[in-house]
Amino acid sequence: MLPSILLLFHLTLAGRGFATPAARAVEKVDLLVTGGTVVTMDGSWRILEDGAVAVRGDRIVAVGPGAQVLAQYRAGRTISARGKIVLPGLINTHNHAPMVLLRGIADDMALMEWLEQVIFPAEARNVDKEFVEWGTALACLEMIRSGTTTYCDMYYFEDQVAETTARAGMRGVLGETIIQFPAPDNKTYQDGLAYTERFLKRWKGNALITPAVAPHAPYTNSAESLRACKALADKYDVPMMLHVAETLDEARQIREKYGATSTQWLEKTGVLGPKVIFHHGVWLTEEDLAIIKKRGVGVTHNPESNMKLASGTAPVPRMLEIGIPVGLGTDGAVSNNNLDMFEAMDFAAKLHKLVSMRPTVLPARQVVAMGTLGGARVLHMDEEIGSLEGGKKADFVLVDADSAHAVPGYNVYSHLVYVLKGADVRTSVINGQVVMLNGRVLTLDEKAIKEKARHYHDRIVASLKR
């Protein structure tokens, strides 16, 4: 029994921050982040003032009080987080990344006019591999700058989205849009399915990219297409995402066609299951919620897009109440018009207070949870990301909490939701790699990307005059 007693004594010392090289060998790690307010988002909502995070390779080795972690670990590289909040990287659960190149091209229009007169023609005349590469690079630049470390995407030429995302050092859950409508790359949904299978084979097992199957929506895919999608997702054990119950118009259309809600029809079609992700879920009935809960589906909430496009208000407090995983998203930059997840948190918190007429609804901590661990749950990655805990992937950001608009601060969750914005993020670590340091993105050529954005601006404007 002696070794166990010694071990217990040793752990007690270590736990109290008394560990010394004599009591326990100092371990080497790759990176130590010290001196910040560490918001762990772990099961006990630990917040560590003057906390530290130790990283080895792509994983977090330890999170704890600074003195304790520093006594136990030595690293070649140390980043000071003094005056900053250390937060799990934000998870943007819904995006169409390359659409940043169309950011603000048309706003404040009726939905069909907007789509048919501007968005669809602009996409048809401009979207190709190069557009998607540069658009994704610009989106990754903006997302890294504003604190997002993982995002979920569906667009076209998704291979280029994946290549660029991996190069940027970001984590992505990515799917090629499958739609019964000629897309810029695949002209039929069968082509889309074939593309997707190649895509799944190529990216499955990648350290940063989780490939997914992405049928656009129930009103743009038949039962046959959706079943083929689900079969593919099951075959490769990957997520399947689709837009569901986004607008009243969709709800009416599906009811006329199938005599059911979108969710009920999807359930009847047999395509729901634990790796399915619903984008939006605005017009969900209580019966829909029961189905979603039963099938283990996750829902992405996009408050800014839903407000700007006048889509409606998703029943987020109710979903959280009954235990449905809910994450936050920005949607594409044509409907928001940026990719700042801090704004998504701010809008979510305020929107649901107003709609419910209860200021206690969605308190700040719950909103930060949606932006981090909740998003990870929706993407079925909560064992790997979404909180700062030993053993998880090293995905976190340092947020400046010491600027004129941020002092004084009384509650770190409240500040993250109501005060701080993407522009306050200074440093970002994804998969153990420092991708931004003190405001400088290290994985992308910012100047070249911005030049290309201006080039695309001119080209797109010209294309719409044709």
Site for a copy of itself in 115-144 (CB under 8 A): 138, 141-142
Contact region for a copy of itself (CB under 8 A) — 64-72, 150-158, 198-206, 347-355? Answer: 347-355
Do 137 and 163 meet the contact criterion of CB atoms below 8 Å apart?
no
Give least dist CB 112 to a copy of itself, A.
Answer: 11
Beta carbon nearer to a copy of itself, 124 or 310: 310
Task: Name which of residues 16 to 75 contact a copy of itself (CB under 8 A).
Answer: none
Q: Shortest approach of a copy of itself to residue 335 CB, angstroms? A: 10
Find all residues with CB under 8 Å of 227, minimum gap 6, and list them: 269, 270, 271
Candidates 34, 93, 96, 114; binder of a copy of itself (CB under 8 A) is: 114
Q: Which of residues 142-171 bind a copy of itself (CB under 8 A)?
A: 142, 145-146
Can you give 385-450 as a three-state secondary structure string? CCCCCCCCECCEEEEECCCCCCCCCCCHHHHHHHHCCHHHEEEEEECCEEEEECCEECCCCHHHHH
Total residues at the site for a copy of itself (CB under 8 A)?
72
Residues 242-271 within binding reach of a copy of itself (CB under 8 A): 248
Residue keyed to tokens 């199938």: 258
Buried b (16+ CB within 10 A) or exposed e, 62-77: bbbbbbbbbbbbebee
349 binds a copy of itself (CB under 8 A): yes
What is the CB neighbour count within 10 angstroms for residue 220?
A: 17
Q: Which residue has the tokens 């003190």?
A: 438
Whose structure tokens read 């997302």?
143
Q: Please report whether residue 11 would count as binding a copy of itself according to CB under 8 A.
A: no
Binding residue for a copy of itself (CB under 8 A) from 13, 23, 290, 423?
Answer: 423
Tell the smallest beta-carbon distance from residue 171 to a copy of itself (Å): 19
Selected from 105, 119, 324, 399, the binder of a copy of itself by CB under 8 A is 105
Contact 161, 98 (CB under 8 A): yes
Q: Which of residues 364-393 bind a copy of itself (CB under 8 A)?
A: 364
Supply the minimum distance, in Å, between the C-beta of residue 441 and a copy of itself: 8
Residue 112 interacts with a copy of itself (CB under 8 A): yes or no: no
Minimum CB separation of residue 280 from a copy of itself in Å reads 14
Binding residues among 393-422 for a copy of itself as defined by CB under 8 A: 402, 404-405, 407-411, 414-415, 418-419, 421-422
Q: In this structure, are residues 305 and 337 in contact, taking their beta carbons and an 8 Å threshold?
A: no
- Indicate the residue among 181 and 418 with the shorter CB distance to a copy of itself: 418
Nearer to a copy of itself, 176 or 340 (CB): 340
Which amino acid makes up residue 388?
Answer: L
> What residues numbered 191-250 form the site for a copy of itself, per CB under 8 A?
248
The rounded distance, in Å, linking the Cα atoms of 110 and 115 is 9
Q: Is 357 in the site for a copy of itself (CB under 8 A)?
A: yes
CB of 405 to a copy of itself, least distance (A): 5
Query: Is 351 one of the binding residues for a copy of itself (CB under 8 A)?
Result: yes
Residue 24 dihedral angles phi and psi, to the nearest 5°: -155, 135
The rounded distance, in Å, linking the Cα atoms of 7 and 168 is: 43
Task: Please give the residues from 432 up to 451 whose contact with a copy of itself meets the rule CB under 8 A.
Answer: 446, 449-450
Interaction pattern, residues 293-332, with a copy of itself; x per rule: CB under 8 A: -----------x-xxxxx-xx-------------------
Write the single-letter amino acid at 305: S
Report the residue number, 376 or 420, with the smaller CB distance to a copy of itself. 420
Rounded to a whole number of angstroms, the minimum distance from the CB of residue 204 to a copy of itself is 31
